[in-house]
Amino acid sequence: MARFAAVCMLAAAACCLLRSLAFVPAPATRSDALTTATGAAVIATIPAGADAFVYKGKEYFDVFYGIEPLAWAFCGFCIVYYGAVLKNAAQKYNIPPAPVPPKVGGFVGKEVENSEPSYMDPSIKQGPY
């Protein structure tokens, strides 16, 4: 239960950092000053349009979401490096399966193995016909 509460607190903090409306409290109705302050807080947490900017009359969108390209490259490097470390650890500590026992002889039918008459013997009537 403690882990669930910690995960919920981290999710709430992440949403607040991303300026989401998911965890904005409802305005209180106690006083006009409190209502005004709460309204100002709600307005401050409303996300901006699309983080787009206008240059020479044309609107552009920030494809890096406001994060430096070097930080994106470092994040990609970390993901690839971590994947390589996991792959190498899995290969290093992998226990190979037991060796397959060698095959001795070929296929032997059920009638030979169990000393039964062959199903192809015409003298034995099998089935309802």
Q: What are the average pLDDT values for consecutive 10-residue runs of the chain, which has 129 residues?
A: 64 59 55 68 59 74 82 97 97 87 84 82 67
Instruction: Please give the pLDDT value at position 91.
Output: 92
Q: How far apart are CA 6 and CA 19, in angstroms?
A: 20
CB 60 within 8 A of CB 53: yes
Q: Do residues 98 and 87 touch, judged by C-beta distance below 8 A?
A: no
Give 7's DSSP letter. Answer: H
- The span from the CA of 78 to the CA of 84, in Å, is 10
Distances (CA, A) of 105 to 9, 68, 116, 118: 66, 68, 20, 20
Residue 105's pLDDT is: 82
pLDDT at position 66 is: 78
The confidence score (pLDDT) of residue 29 equals 56
3-state class of 38 per DSSP? helix
pLDDT at 90: 94
CA 121/CA 109 separation, integer angstroms: 14
Radius of gyration of the chain (CA): 36
